[in-house]
Structure 1
Amino acid sequence: MDEFVCNVCQHKIAGEIVEVKEMMFGTGEAFQYGQCGNCGTIQLLNPPPDIEYYYPDEYYAFSDLSFSNPHVNWLKTLRIKLFRFFDIDFFKPVYGDWLKLLDAKVNEKITDIGCGNGQLLYELYASGFRDLTGFDPFIDMDFVINPSLRLYKRGLDDIKGPFDIIMLHHALEHMPDLAHAFRKISQLLSVGGRALVRLPVSDGEAWQIYKQHWVQLDAPRHYFIPSLKAMKLLAEANDLEIYEVVFDSSEFQFWASELYAKGLPFFDTRDKSLFPKEELLKYKRKSLQLNKEGKGDQACFYLKKK
């Protein structure tokens, strides 16, 4: 058996090797994942040489960008201002808490790495932000929407900074070298800059319950799923400080994993219709409780450049 070393802490990956099938599109290929006994990082051991094959046009992040008219954009700008001033959930957009914890200002240089179609950046633009750049190696081409909002087909190593704020929304786990990615993120941040990294974590209860059927493994697109300990090690090694961790897992961790356990690919159903409403409500309540306990299957990490 080959010897595998953890990308985060360089300890030997020993113990059970889990065979995980590609289940988003149901192609059925099996991939091996192991977990570091020291830092808890789950790691893909046999990545495919043709990873782009697993990001077809129907991949969810590549849907068409949805634009809104100037009147709606004015309302979005008003909404974010009201939320930040009054801190009332009624005014809160989906990205409101992220901006608040990042202390994001409208003229700061903000980038979303792994931006997909750029919808989040467009929503920030519609809410008044004016220096927004997105990067994704899997989009078709560069797309300069206007001087304030630009999308580029580039991988992490082709990005030049600095940026005041860097966001990675479920993008870091798609990168083949986690330690290198953290070094690059630190280099791209200005002094005092902030980063938001959202991704699945191996501390979650769902990993213990479902193992090879856990939806967040998403073989083979997810190279790594770190633990909280691993994220702290990566931050400390790269002059970064984690100043907030917020668990934001949902009932998806349960119902989608149940689909996979039944051998049903995600894109054959794409919804929760196979589950009774009472069961979905149970999953939702369980997810909220696990988030409170720090046992959800994904989290938001807020980091600052020292």
Structure 2
Amino acid sequence: MSDINADGTALAVTASPPVFSCLCCGGSTASLFLDQCPDFYLRKPFVVSYHRCTACGLVQQHPVPSDVSPYYDAYPVHRPRSAAYSWFRRMLMSSVYLPPQHWRRGGRLLDFGCGDGWYLEWCKSAGLEVVGFEPSSSHANALAARLGVPVMSDASELQRQFGGAFDVITLHFVVEHLTDLQSTFRLLASLLRPGGVVRYVVPNIDSWEFRLFRRRWHSLDAPRHISFPGVEHADLLAHSCGLSFVGKSFVSFPNGFGGSLPTALWARFSELALLLTLPISVVVTRLFPAGSQAFLLSRRDARSVQS
């Protein structure tokens, strides 16, 4: 076929749109869920769209980015926090970050996506053997030096050193950032001992919080949040890697509601406004805790690793 017109001018070439591929079930068809979503949190110059898989209902970005590193420059989750802030998380977010006493003393715990490392510190002080994982090697090395615990940055090395070694694996607001759900859950399954559990917490895209705020919902966090797996996806992912779906629960996360209020009013996040609205956010999310949910998967029997 000729690539020029009859008058000698070049034919216009139209690039094919990227093919949708569901991160959970592999489905190839989807409908637009939410478009033109800017970065209200860090105000980076990115705008993304979300689609819902026709087959399993997963809401995910389309297209899925091949490189997410530009989204995380100056990401505050990795910044060391004060003792007061850690106390705040322990007291006000205990349904998100389960107290270490929930797990068997002396067990081995992996915090996958350990952020500033505070949960590792808390669990270590309670008598658990802890390991962290962060994909940035420089951040992982700095955390390991500061905390005095292993913090891995290479998934293959993590599997080589700790395959079948963990009683508990936690992921606190990590799963929604992943660009490859299936391979990550296969990795997690390979790291569990028989009887071990994976507990992960994710924002709930089907919640009243999202319906109220939509693009300005703080927990949407475009473009960093890639997908929003729900209960049906927990079951699919569990069975795809040989785990069992144990159950789910709604958890109180005041930042999701409180962070949405300034964004709804001024189209930008404000940490000061979040702090000022914290009391009402705590009350609202404890009375109506649907904005985030926790899922528990087991390699056999969750009771063997819980107190």
Normalising by structure 2, we get a TM-score of 0.76
- Say yes or no: does 1:26 pair with 2:24: no
C-alpha separation in 1, matches of 2:41 and 2:205: 20
Q: Does 1:299 align with 2:304?
A: no
**Aligned CA distance change for structure 1 residues 274 and 299 (closer, same or farther; 3 Å):** closer
Q: RMSD over aligned Cα, in angstroms? A: 3.3
Rate the CA distance shift 1:45–1:24 in 2: closer, same or farther, 3 A. Answer: same
Instruction: Please state if 1:112 is matched with 2:116.
Output: no
Q: Aligned with 1:112: secondary structure?
A: strand
CA deviation profile, 1:276-304 (whole Å, cap 9, x unmatched): 78xx63x544433433xxxx121111221
Shift of 1:145: 4.7
Task: Check 1:188–1:274 CA distance in 2 against 1; reply closer, same or farther (3 A cut).
Answer: closer
Amino acid in the other structure paired with 2:286: L
Change (3 A) 1:18 1:147: closer
Aligned match of 2:135 in 128, 134, 137? 137
SS of the counterpart of 2:169? strand
Give percent identity, aligned residues only: 23
Flag the structure with larger Rg. Answer: 2
Contact 1:241 1:303 in 2 (8 A): yes
Aligned to 2:267: 264
1:37-56 equivalent positions in 2, closer than 5 A = 37-56=54-73
Shift of the 285–24 alpha-carbon distance from structure 1 to 2, 3 Å rule, reads same
Change (3 A) 1:276 1:112: closer
**Aligned residue in 2 for 1:236:** 239
Q: Within 5 A, what are the aligned runs for 1:28-107?
A: 28-57=45-74, 59-64=75-80, 94=94, 98-99=98-99, 104-107=103-106
Query: Normalising by the residue count of structure 1, what TM-score does the alignment of the two structures yield?
Result: 0.76
Aligned length: 273
Aligned mates of 2:212, 2:54 — CA distance in 1: 18
Residues 164, 49 of structure 1: alpha-carbon distance in 2 compared, 3 angstrom cutoff: same
Runs of 5+ consecutive residues of structure 1 not aligned to the other structure: 69-75, 77-88
